[in-house]
């Protein structure tokens, strides 16, 4: 009788210890995910939405890392071979509850991450139908019936909202070229106004490239023959790097440019200074 009570007490203490350790692990992971910032400053309306996903992923990753590291160190100490032990370890197999646990937990985590990621991508405009453009403005070599293959479209075109500024982006080895149909401006830098939607109509001339601005939390592949749309709204004035994040050749590392986010008045001034003069017949 006393032996059974002792076994019950030991099991209860073990269960309580496991519950407290799991709670502490989850609390630590959540605290790290929401208080340790590894991201650059946010400079677009998409950034806070993406950052919410990053915090969740960072929290889950911290829990997994700490849990596995603690369990590994504990096992190394608790189950280490003694000096007098020269035999093999116990051949343990067929532990059905353990197999269910280590299968169910990752399955639930992966399913949650997948659903949440889809929701974030949809909120950013990734699932919004592409605009039905008949041709890409400024790209006369694109067939008239060409459609956009993918990307991030404007989330909504609500009445009263500022119209998106169209910019044609051509990616080639090893540069990004930006063309503004309004004013027939061509630039090696992307200039945009703060607080106004921008619509990049992107194409690649040779190989696959990727348009990446870390501060905007946007990275979009640009594939030859597949015109792509990328929309965003800058929220912080400044100059930010544009990086090709897809290996595109021997000088891939040098394929960089900048996006300059102006105050609205400064952007209009830049347009006026670079606008091509109208030609008279």
pLDDT at 17 over 80: yes
At residue 130, the pLDDT reads 62
Q: Residue 139 — pLDDT band, cuts 50, 70, 90? A: very low
17 vs 204, higher pLDDT: 204
216 vs 151, higher pLDDT: 216
Q: What is the DSSP letter of 254?
A: G
Least confident of 18-27, 58-67, 135-144, 214-223: 135-144
Q: Which residues contact 256 (CB under 8 A, 6 or more apart)?
A: 241, 242, 243, 244
Q: Residue 142 — pLDDT band, cuts 50, 70, 90? A: very low
- 170 pairs with which residues across the strands? 177, 203
pLDDT tens digits, 221-271: 999 988 998 999 999 999 999 999 999 999 999 999 999 999 999 999 999
Mean pLDDT for the stretch of residues 270-276: 85
User: Considering the chain, what is the average pLDDT of its residues?
Assistant: 84
Q: What is the DSSP letter of 151?
A: E
Boundaries of every domain in the chain: 2-78+96-124, 150-274
pLDDT at 70 over 50: yes
At residue 58, the pLDDT reads 95
For 73, the 3-state DSSP assignment is helix
Residue 168 host element (H or E): strand 165-172
pLDDT at 54 over 70: yes
At residue 137, the pLDDT reads 41
Instruction: Select 150-274's CATH number: 3.30.420.40, 3.20.20.70, 3.40.50.300, 2.60.40.420.
Output: 2.60.40.420
Buried b (16+ CB within 10 A) or exposed e, 37-72: eeeeebbbbbbebbbebbbbebbbebbeeebeeeee
Cβ burial, residue 234 (10 Å; 0-12/13-18/19+): buried
Query: Nearest-CA neighbor of 235 among 216, 258, 219, 213?
Result: 216
pLDDT at 90 over 80: no
Task: State both tokens at 279.
Answer: 């030609």
Place of tokens 């063309």: 179
- 6 pairs with which residues across the strands? none
pLDDT at 168 over 90: yes
pLDDT at 278 over 70: no
Mean pLDDT for the stretch of residues 193-206: 93
Mean pLDDT for the stretch of residues 37-58: 92
pLDDT tens digits, 100-130: 988 998 999 999 999 999 988 888 777 666 6
At residue 80, the pLDDT reads 83
Distance (Å, rounded) from C-alpha 37 to C-alpha 51? 10
pLDDT tens digits, 210-224: 999 999 999 999 999
Query: Nearest-CA neighbor of 202 among 137, 126, 155?
Result: 137
């Amino acid at each position: 009788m006393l032996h059974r009570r002792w076994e019950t007490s030991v099991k209860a203490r073990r269960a309580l210890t496991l519950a407290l350790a799991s709670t502490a692990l989850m609390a630590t992971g959540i605290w790290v995910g929401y208080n340790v910032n590894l991201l650059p400053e946010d400079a677009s309306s998409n950034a806070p939405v993406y950052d919410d996903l990053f915090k969740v992923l960072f929290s889950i990753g911290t829990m997994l890392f700490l849990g596995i590291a603690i369990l590994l160190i504990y096992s190394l100490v608790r189950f280490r071979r003694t000096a007098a032990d020269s035999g093999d370890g116990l051949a343990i197999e067929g532990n059905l509850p353990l197999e269910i646990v280590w299968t169910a937990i990752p399955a639930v985590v992966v399913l949650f991450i997948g659903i949440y990621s889809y929701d974030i991508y949809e909120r950013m405009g990734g699932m919004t139908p592409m605009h039905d453009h008949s041709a890409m403005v400024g790209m006369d070599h694109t067939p008239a019936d060409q459609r956009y293959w993918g990307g991030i479209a404007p989330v909504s075109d609500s009445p009263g909202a500022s119209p998106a500024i169209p910019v044609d982006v051509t990616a080639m080895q090893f540069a990004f070229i930006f063309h503004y149909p309004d004013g027939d401006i061509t630039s090696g830098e992307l200039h945009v106004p703060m607080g106004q939607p921008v619509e990049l109509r992107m194409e690649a001339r040779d190989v696959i490239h990727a348009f990446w601005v870390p501060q905007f939390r946007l990275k979009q592949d640009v594939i030859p023959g597949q015109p792509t749309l990328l929309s965003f709204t800058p929220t912080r004035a400044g100059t930010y790097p544009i990086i090709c994040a897809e290996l595109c050749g021997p000088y891939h590392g040098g394929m960089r440019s900048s996006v300059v986010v102006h105050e609205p008045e400064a952007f209009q001034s830049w347009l006026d200074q670079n606008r091509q003069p109208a030609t008279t017949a």
